[in-house]
Chain A
Amino acid sequence: MDRRDFSQKLSLAAMASILGTEIVFGNQMPSTYLPLGLQDSDPFKLFKKDGEMEVLNNRPWNIEAKAHLLNDKITPNKFMFIRNNGKIPENIDPSTWTLTIDGESVNRKKTYTLSELKTKFPQYTYQLTLECGGNGRSEFNPPAKGNQWTVGAVSCANWTGVRLRDILEDVGIKSNAVYIGYHAADTHLSGDPNKEPISRGVPISKAMQDETLVAFSMNGEDIPIAHGFPLRLVCGGWPASTSGKWITRLSVRDVVHDGAKMGGTSYRVPCETVAPGSKVEDSNMCIIESMPVKSLITYPKSGALLKEGKVLKINGHAWAGELEVSKMEFSIDFGSTWQHCTLEKPTNRLAWQHFDTSVSFPKKGYYEVWARATDSNGKSQPMVLPGWNPKGYLNNACHRIAVKVV
């Protein structure tokens, strides 16, 4: 961004409101100067992301992968999407970091340091699928408001931490517990210190699952800053917004948690299906829980030119929220016929599953290879957009790649 131009367009008052503080001697500030807090940085260096990642938004940072970048069985940091609602916390000191468990339904509030969490409870590692609730939003018609994710807001990394259940049992929770809600160190875009950018959570039943972790490492290393260092709640298979980053407090609630982005149209869909473009009252919106069945062809990259007579090897991943994927198919004739792919079992519950197969084409021409997963309840991915909803969540329509046989 050109500094001069940007500065000219921003009044001092506007700059002050962004920085959340008055600019002292602002009237003496050269008009060509842009305060440090406002400067852009290179997100690829800043977050160690691959250069092919797509920046959707730089304030707040929202970056997605592309299908072919997600080919690894375990997603490395460089290909992991970033979704932020607020500003990433600064000056994090893990040695002073604490996690407090409070809320209406705890017997007594309790606070743990990071090292207490690491030493007091057994540690577990699970490979967990985290997909943004709005992944695929860009396809909705009428368009849905928000970051226009295409297919790349999903990851499946190894998360290591302690079970939330073990912590809650140590604290002691009441039988009226309904929900847990997280509170974190990220700050609101408006700079208002009294506002939380996001404070979501999960029902107590999800909180008590073996795989629900309070994690401190990702792929064997400290969690990268953009993904929640030093402590992150990880609820695999649910909208990734339930996996709070930089958490400092978990509230055990006797009601459905009512933090920021729990109400209105946020991470909620019409309880009953509606016609595209309908107005839906808040009271008719239901919180998204498990994510739907979905899959991605991660090899080859869309646009492959294949010599006639050659066999095309394809592979990818499939996942189904709380469920397992039981069947994986592909079609080269726009769904007229479907053929089976080889599908692996998940490494652990809530991890994505890998599929592969060989595709033969009858003659030269333009083809699309469509992939369709079916979950253990028999539900398959739709070929067209699923039910429209005001914020464009849960698009699990079949992924496809273009292939030309030449």
Chain B
Amino acid sequence: MENTFRDQIKLLSRMLFTFFFLFLILIGGLFYLIDNPETFESSKTDSLQDVTEADDKVENTIDLANGFIDDEGMEATIQNCTGCHSAQLVTQNRMSREGWKATIKWMQETQNLWDLGANEELILTYLSKNYAPTKKGRRQNLENIEWYELE
């Protein structure tokens, strides 16, 4: 009888301790998230590197089937831009809205691109938001260096 009571006490204290421990982890995690709100969002560069295989799912904001960033206007961009050239010719470029507009105009004047109608606004907004230039300066650091031992 006495032993059973002791066992029950032991079990109860173990359970209490476990719950307390889990509670600590939860609170700690929440505090970490408050400090690091970007934890569950990948940055754009990360997601670009993630695209190694064509697939039909959308992962990390890049539509893996076509290589475009999944956002409003993507469908219109695919329909109007990838008829003649690959998505890569778009996604490797960075331009301001003005620059994208000038490119569309150039393609209309010289490359048989049709009138985009109401889609032009949508496409321009999509491109200038998702493929905007970043300041690079006059010379950048060497990046993505794969270190290897030289014999």
Chain A residues close to B by CB (< 8 Å): 1-2, 4-6, 9-11, 14, 17-18, 55-60, 139-143, 145-148, 188-192, 195, 260, 264, 300-306, 312, 368, 383-385, 397, 400-402, 404
Contacts and interface: CB of A to CB of B under 8 A. Distances in A.
Nearest to A59: B86
Given A139-B136, A303-B147, 6 more contacts: A56-B92, A141-B137, A143-B95, A195-B111, A303-B146, A305-B147
Chain B contact patch, size range: 35 or more
Interface of B: 54-56, 65-66, 75, 78-79, 83-86, 88-89, 92-96, 99, 103, 106, 110-113, 133, 135-140, 142, 145-150
Contacts of A56: 88, 92
Nearest to A313: B150
SS class, residues of chain A in contact with chain B: loop
A182 to B, nearest CB: 19
Top 6 closest A-B pairs, CB basis? A190-B112, A59-B86, A141-B136, A5-B65, A304-B150, A189-B84
A9 B147 contact: no
6 contacts: A2-B55, A10-B79, A17-B83, A139-B139, A145-B93, A302-B145
Given A9-B66, A148-B92, A190-B84, A300 B54 contact: no
Contact of B112 (A2, A9, A139, A192): A192
Contacts of A1: 54, 65-66
Contacts, number: 113
B5 to A, nearest CB: 65
A1 B63 CA distance: 11
Contacts of B112: 188, 190, 192, 195
A57 B138 contact: no
Contact of A384 (B85, B138, B142, B150): B138
B139 A397 contact: yes
A249 B68 CA distance: 39
Given A14-B83, A192-B112, A300 B150 contact: yes
